[in-house]
Amino acid sequence: MVTLGAGLAARGHEVHIGCLHHPGPLGEEALEAGIAVHAPRSRVMKRLFSAVFLVRLVWNLKPDVVHPYLTQNNVKVSLLRFFYPGTPVVWGVRATSLNLGDYGIRDRIIAWLGRQLSPRADTVICNSTGARDEIVGVGLRPGLVHVVPNGIDADRFRQLPAQG
């Protein structure tokens, strides 16, 4: 997300990232790239009012597009969409073929909601053809799904055993 945002910011776009958790070191990198980073101020706010935080952020910023990543956030943004009906929602899909038996009931409900809500996304960007095939298989029109491979610098994001 930071790589995408940095590229957009370098092209003159105003970019904001909303984090429902502490942004950590990538938040610092985003700020250095000219990206505004927004996060709830307290754990209580994060846990109890993440939906309110998200709605207020989108309502105040009035973005041209909202682009969440991962099923839980895609579901949240889609469920809250009636607060910002004219704003396109572009899902980011990164995981495929999860064995939901390895997860708890909460994650299985989120996965089910994701399958139900995915056809309501304006566009879906997947990081693999496998993800595309899976989401098309649950009912999304193929023309709305695009594959954009991860822009990962494998030298930067490598295991560093000495650093833990």
| In-domain check, residue 89 | yes
Q: Which helix (H) or strand (E) holds 19?
A: none
Which pTM does this prediction carry? 0.81
| In-domain check, residue 45 | no
Angstrom CA distances, 113 to 30, 95, 101, 107, stand at 30, 15, 16, 10
| In-domain check, residue 15 | no
| In-domain check, residue 12 | no
| In-domain check, residue 54 | no
| In-domain check, residue 87 | yes
Cβ neighbours of residue 156 closer than 8 Å, sequence gap 6 or more: none
| In-domain check, residue 49 | no
Q: Which helix (H) or strand (E) holds 92?
A: strand 90-93
Q: What gap in Å lies between CA 9 and CA 6, rounded to an integer?
A: 5
The answer to whether residues 139 and 118 touch, using CB atoms and an 8 Å cutoff, is yes
**Domain interval for residue 91:** 64-151
pLDDT of residue 146: 94
**How many domains is the chain partitioned into structurally?**
1
Q: Domain holding 94: CATH number?
A: 3.40.50.2000
Give the type of residue at 158.
R
pLDDT in tens for each of the 164 residues of the chain?
Answer: 888 899 999 999 999 999 887 788 889 999 999 999 998 877 665 666 778 888 889 999 999 999 998 888 899 888 888 888 889 999 998 876 777 778 889 888 888 888 888 888 899 999 888 889 888 887 788 999 999 987 777 777 777 788 77
| In-domain check, residue 116 | yes
